[in-house]
Structure 1
Amino acid sequence: MFKLLIVDDEAFVVDSLGDTLPWEQIGVTAVFKAYSGFEALDILKTNSIDIMITDIRMPGMNGLELLEQVRRSWKRIKCILLSGHAEFTYAQQAIQHNTYEYLLKPISDEDVMTKVKEAVDLLHKEREENQSYQQVVRAFEENLPKLRGELLNELLQGRKYASQRLMEKLDSLKMSIKTDEQFAFMLVRLEGPMLDFDFYSLSLMEYAIVNMAEELSGEFFQLWSSKDVHGYMVFLATVSPDKQAELDGTPDKGMAILEEQLDLMGSQLQLNVNRYLKGTVSVLLNKWGSFPGDVQKLYQDSLLSLRRRIGNQSELLVYVADEIEQLGVQSLQKLYEPPHIIHLLESGNWEVTHEKLVSILNELSIKWADSQEHLIEVFFSVYASFSSFAHKNGRELADMIGPGLSEVSGLPACRSIATLEQWIFNSFRQLQQGMENETRNDREGAVRKIQHFVQKHLVEDVSLQAIADHMYMHPVHVSRVYKLETGENLSDYVLRLKMELAASLLANGALKNYEIGLKLGYQNPNYFIKVFKKYYFVTPQEFRLRLEEGE
């Protein structure tokens, strides 16, 4: 999607082109309007413009001067020049500045749309052919295994995706697995000397093991690999489409064949690691499940089996064919599945953090309402997240939520779910209010610094870029912070101060109108007169005469 900037000192031309033409139909999603070259530069500094239509003859800064600056700083913008004069010299200068198109007024709306559509098509083509774009594509291709592994790890940890969203992510990563497709896990634990390898050597070893596993999967399986948070290598195996079609006719026999092949792959992987890499691994093969609903459960079952059946032993091969026995006590799923509380707090997403806390308490209420240990587990987990968040912001937790809420002796918050819920949300509200107050104070301080700089340098350089450089902030952020805090555009504030200063200087009969304009940074006297009249509805000379009459 592309953005268009229209520049002309005749307001009706800009407004007519910007407001009446169906730009969305040709791929232009945003239209910006400027009534002078200086306004155009301010817009260009704070917005990513793709196409610019500008008149040539404008006061203060003409279209060719504007184009020259655009070519210095924004080379990729397609510039279309409009002019009511057919002098060849203009066309020559336009060509020198690599202008995309040169059009003579008057021009029909259809012709304008046609030229802009051609520029949009050219931008599409350039984007596809652009070397940096191709580099991004190549980098994406090179990092596909890593990106796939990260997605699998999210699913292993319990990250929930809407079905359509998950399928879109899988498709973007060129994964062919489908909803409800059958899969099995193979967990590989590296052992012995390999655990002492440095990062580089270990990465090479893991890369070699992945390649071995993919070679051993042969015609039977497609593998999706990842390294989990425990350092285990996890392989999600699905049946290849050709083999699935072959086995569909005999489901019972087919499952037996698949289990046999999975077992063979695990044992052969152990042998190959020992033979070719001089290392040892334990391998655990799990029962089959349905994607993605069974991913987290089967993964947790695999970890449980690994702890129970392998433990500290090494170079074992275990196939979990039986159902894992139902545990009497289980962990809270919502508490530990991503996104975690601390990460949500750090992102400043208060609404989603609140939803996360609600979901944790709901699970606690439904499953473990009578478990004192689960109450304490939730309390200390939330307390640790709140404390970590406070410390990362340079504060003690007691300073943010108050000594009453931060006091943990006696654990009064763990007496019941009701008291725990009350403590969590009271503390959460205090955290949120404290951070919002700090943010507001920071914005107020930034606005005061901006205003002080503008007042001090009003007759010098008070461009948006100069203000941004002084504040060590991006120009877009400067504009947004000022607008958010004051409700006024920064450019309007600067203009108001300049016009107020102009009005006071006009009372000095020794200063000529053009001298006042120059003092305020307006190099073109006519442009100063135009701006002054637009603000006060009278020219500087008329304003001066009124002052004299008032005297």
Structure 2
Amino acid sequence: MSKLLIVDNEKIIVDGLVGYFLDLKLDALEVYGTHSGKEALRLLEETKVDIVLSDIRMPGMSGLELQQQVSQRWPHCRMIFLSGYDDFQLIQQAMRGGAGNYILKTEGYEVIGAAVIAALQQLQEAVRFQSLIERSREQFRSTLPYMGKELMNRLLQGDPVALTQRVKQFEHLQIHLDSQSPVLLFLTRIDHWRGITAPSDRALIIYSIQNIAAEYLHPFLSCYSYPYEASRMIWFVQPREDESLTETDKLRRRSLLFLQHSLEDIQAACHQLLNITLSFAVGNSFHEWDALQEPFESLKLLLNRGLGIKEEAILLETADAVHPAPGESTPRHAPAISFQIHKLQEHLENGERGEFYDLLGHILGLPVRADGNEEMIRLEVALSLGGMYLSAINRWGIWQEIARQLDLDLLFRIGAERDWNEYKAYFIQLADVLFDCRTLQSTNQENDIVEKLEHYISSHLAEDLSMTRLGMVFNHHPYYLSRLYKQTTKTGLLDYITELRLNKAKLLLQESDLRVQEVSQAVGFISEGYFYRFFKKTVGMTPSEYREKPKL
């Protein structure tokens, strides 16, 4: 979702332009209006803006000064200047600063609208597919990523040798991160490979994702990434030095905000250029290099759980994020069994029911070795499966739900004396219950969020109900929250808000003595003029005409 910010010290101009762009109903465009450069900066501190449409001459902070601040916060933001004067010197200054256009206010709404639409198209075309693929091929020939992956995996595990040698190793392996400064983690999941099966093709896609992300993140962030599983990647992130910010905490907060709002653009670019959908889980704080294991496990759990949306999710870690149970461990198995159990666990975590049952059937039907040690092999399989199931039940917190549907006694008393057919039937039945509980848990979380969202909206119709504000209230990414609501209710969130506001406006017009301006404010419209135009276009009559209409 793209965001347009209109800045002008004249209220009538801001209200008129906001109303004009809202009337255009451009797909996935949020429109904001402010009346000064300082007010615009406060908004830019809280949300990413894609296009700024600003008066070039304003009291206090001018449009040119605002342009400098915008480029520091959101480097990919397009700047369009408005002016009542055909001032060649100002035009030159604006263009040198990277302005995308310069329009005289007298040229009218259509010219301004065309400039904004052109800027939206330029944003979509900014990343070029061919150059990314060529860069990906160059990286593919290099062995450095594989050695870097090995080092980073050892750091994630808290390996003391890797921690001691990381300064030298970062330089040797060209890992452009500060080995002495804290790092932020986030994870990526490739939701679907779209029929891509060859390892070399998958590797090329992963490199392309890395390059696309680098295009968006490079201005503010230093990053290092690699796949830690077949369809998942981990990213290590640090803020780049900024001479305008000397406070470390403030720089990190701004970097985290920049990262969170850039992920939506990365998702869209990968979908458009690679036909690949991605989901993200983002940490909420920076960690020292010797304390990465716990946040890594926490993010994996967050990504595995999700919140109803199975594709293109953006999940933000909260302060009370669920961590693995203390003392939880994974038993050691022989390599062949261990590998297959590991794959089985991946299918369970990802909700891949069909693939899970296929592999489970294979594991339960493994042939007995020629040495006749049948009971011990089957015991190893039973213990491995039992450990996997117990781990999932612990981490998902669904003991009570499972116990209501299935006797867990057999899971607690795995032993060689049990009949193997009893184990086989039990493990399949337990998988059925686990998948059903996971689906129900996800659905309940999803419905709970939607119910709370609708209650908040109905109780705050007169207030700011932009996607950014709702995201802050519910501690979820705005784009993710909007898609979750649409997926659950089959209705767009903005459409729902508009319908509630319109219905309440009709009620107030017919059953109260409030003036039209007061009704407009009571239902959250930015100005009486825009409320008037919207109401007439939607209802077919003006608010005053509707008020005089006889009640049925």
TM range, normalised to the smaller chain?
0.3 to 0.5
Larger radius of gyration: 1
* TM-score (norm. length: structure 1): 0.48
